[in-house]
Structure 1
Amino acid sequence: MVGCPVGCLVIGGADTFTCVTAVAVIGAAGRMGKTTCDAVEAAADLTLSARVGSGDDLVAGLKGADVAVVMTSPDGVDDIVVTCVEQGVHAVVGTTGWTEDGLARVRAALAKAPGVGVLLAPNFALGAVLLMRFAAEAARYFESVEVVELHHPNKADAPSGTARHTAAQIAASRREAGLPASPDATTAVLDGARGADVDGVRVHSVRLQGLVAHEEVLLGGPGEQLTIRHDSFDRVSFMPGVLLAVRQVSGRPGLVRGLENYL
């Protein structure tokens, strides 16, 4: 299996072969899970080894898998990823809402499994990844910046993982450029009116029926405004990024946060 990055199934002769990666989808009954299963089944170099839902035996579902795609609710996601690592299965994780304790557990598990890779991606849409990069670059040149994220009302966490990641990258870029905080003279405010504070960047969350996943970064300077926006109208928009991650995670051991590190 020369050139095969994981211990996967090889179809074909000695001179021509297709390396097929076995993928287990965790959270397969959810909207993102179902879309992921469809995408894996449609890919010639991937095979869907298991659909794992709530209440299913996770260890049994991981048997024979090279990579697990985790698309669950935040509750217990660290347990799921730690189990993947302990079973020697690489993990591509779209679940957001991570805590520092959860991240520490995953890092500790990975320290005992040095060949295993885990990607935590707040957003798999390639356009969203580009938005984050563009926003971080632009934020160096404007006095003010705020983030607005808009999602469907069934989303559990607010702000979204994408918005938190965006704000953190913006804040790091502004610190590197030596910029002060965005000007804000507000002294009288209702709770939540100015949004969440993520590393000094204000982030506002909208939950509205009919939306899927949307984000705006608003940047302001004297006499001008720049708006950078990304819209996902359908969950299929996330699939190119998910498949890219599945194909690369075995070559990226350890914990990686953000799909931009794979691009």
Structure 2
Amino acid sequence: MDRRPALQDATPQPDLWAAKPEPAPRPHYAGHRDRLRERASAGGLAALPDYEVLELLLFRSIPRGDVKPLAKQLIARFGSLGAVLGADTEALKSVRGVGAALALDLKLVQEAALRASREEVARRTVISSWSALLAYVKTALAHEPREQVRVLFLDKKNQLIADEVTGEGTVDHAPVYPRELMRRALELSASALILVHNHPSGDPTPSSADVEITRQIVEAGRSLRISVHDHLVVGRDGIASFKALGLL
């Protein structure tokens, strides 16, 4: 008979008395997305501050993690929700945490808002939808970082034929050529037009150069029987109307 001691199993046995590891603490933002969505559903989106509306947008582009710091950073960097959406792609991507895909998503929201407001203007005569027109040009230009000139070409019934950008420039100047503008009006068979441009400084007060170029455009249109109904200057601080100011 073999009297050698039996070999013991070398596999270590669990220590039944050892303390179990503590579960990892939940991140401080756990459940925040669900809570924010519930608040938006219960109280309406209009009750939310800008950064929380922006958070809801970011949820769709960034499926996990805490996006509140990024939302607040974007608002702080650009000044408002409208300015975030109006910022150009390169400016958006300069903010840490914003890549090309997220920048495109934010610009998509602005484009959707712009097209929806333009539809309101196109459905009726411009004169009868003046508040819709002001909302549209504010959406289009209030947060543009460079000066841009748009012209709304109207038919005999003052309905919108076309809305075209006719000049883009620097932070304080965009070129406008009255003869080219009237040539385009004739091509479209337009009977009237409304000039629109922005002041990136935020102050919509017309400059002396604005007044002079408007005078030249009015003169160029007079012999062609093309009227200039108004010239709107758009800034973050509001919209100035040449007609309301007695400048036209």
Tell which has more relative contact order, 1 or 2 (C-alpha 8 A, sep 6+).
1
Higher helix share: 2
Q: TM-score, normalised by structure 1?
A: 0.28
